[in-house]
Amino acid sequence: MTKKILRALAGERLPTPPIWMMRQAGRYLPEYRATRAQAGDFLSLCYNPELAAEVTLQPISRYGFDAAILFADILLVPQALGADLWFVTGEGPRLSTVTDAGGVAALKPADAVHDTLAPIYQTLRILTRELPKDTTLIGFAGAPWTVATYMIAGRGTPDQGPAHRFKDADRAAFSMLIDRITDATIEYLSAQIDAGAEVVKLFDSWAGSLKGKDFDDFAIAPVTRIISALNQRHPTIPVIAFPREARSRYEGFARATGADCVALDNSVDAQWAAANLQTDGCVQGNLDPRHMVTGGQALIDETRAIVSAFRNGPHIFNLGHGITPDADPENVALMVDTVRNS
């Protein structure tokens, strides 16, 4: 029988939605913290195929999720393109910056991802052997706009201001950067699929800060080009898109980009999404991650409400954003049990 997530992505309505969780391999799990300590640091863990596969498998062993998502990071693509990348403990990623046309021109070509990111593909090959036969393997990348915001600012920012200033000051150079990231992302995801990924997901974490034509040009257009290229190379592989905080622009996003599924952040009303988005195909989401911290009856009630809202169409249950390090592993177990018994 075809795996449950693949059935949902193909448009099938299932009696019980398949379930996985963004950042399901992560710091809330003691076994992850132990493996990361063994690796030495975050980037060393990403580039160690055996240990990266181990942490990818940990939440599958603990919870029996219907999918495993490759353990990696969206900023490995900028690193492959020539950016310096490091992580500051307690603060997050730092990169050398690209702030003008000269910086864009100095980047490596898109196919640099093949050599630099070879360990990531090896992680996927290990997972194809080690995952349970009914568990779907998901690969991923950051969408070009979100990746660009980090490359321009050198770090995460509250409002993506540096990227907006670059875009507004030199739209041609900014578009060149988006194109370079788009080309690299096509190569990266295609190689992930060649290595065993059965689904790929594009994370546009900062899509919500784009408005009007900027949203069309830098959230919709690059994702459309990536999906079109992947469809040509790998016509059976579905793509999930996550334009986080897109608000009203969620509507029609799947049609515009060709995405097989749109993941929803937790600000989206599930009843509205069922009426306006699920009519275009599969939706994913969208429990508030704070319930993984607080637990209790509120977690149960909200989980049941989301399952009920999306019951009449194809749905993959997930959080509306990644699980946070302060989450209680027991609350994750409660969520999984609630979904599967709703």
Three-state DSSP class for residue 22: coil
Residue of 7, 13, 27, 165 with catalytic role: 27
CA distance 162 to 152: 6
CB 246 within 8 A of CB 320: no
Q: Which amino acid is at 32?
A: Y
165 is catalytic: no
Residue of 7, 13, 33, 36 with catalytic role: 36
Three-state DSSP class for residue 341: coil
CA distance 99 to 107: 12
CA distance 189 to 316: 21
Residues, the chain: 342
For residue 95, list its beta bridge partners: 85
290 is catalytic: no
CA 97 from centre of chain? 23
CA 46 from centre of chain? 15
73 is catalytic: yes
121 is catalytic: no
Closest by CA position to 38, among listed 20, 21, 58, 23:
58
For residue 284, list its beta bridge partners: 263, 316
> What is the DSSP code string of 102-131?
HHHHTSPPTTHHHHHTHHHHHHHHHHHHHS
36 is catalytic: yes
Residue of 73, 179, 216, 217 with catalytic role: 73
**Vertex 216: Cα angle to 177 and 5 (nearest 5):** 90
3-state per-residue secondary structure call for 30-83: HHHHHHHHHHCCHHHHHCCHHHHHHHHHHHHHHHCCCEEECCCCCCHHHHHCCC
Write phi, then psi, for 145 (nearest 5 degrees): -60, -50
Residue of 32, 47, 150, 250 with catalytic role: 150
**Catalytic residue set:** 23, 27, 36, 73, 150
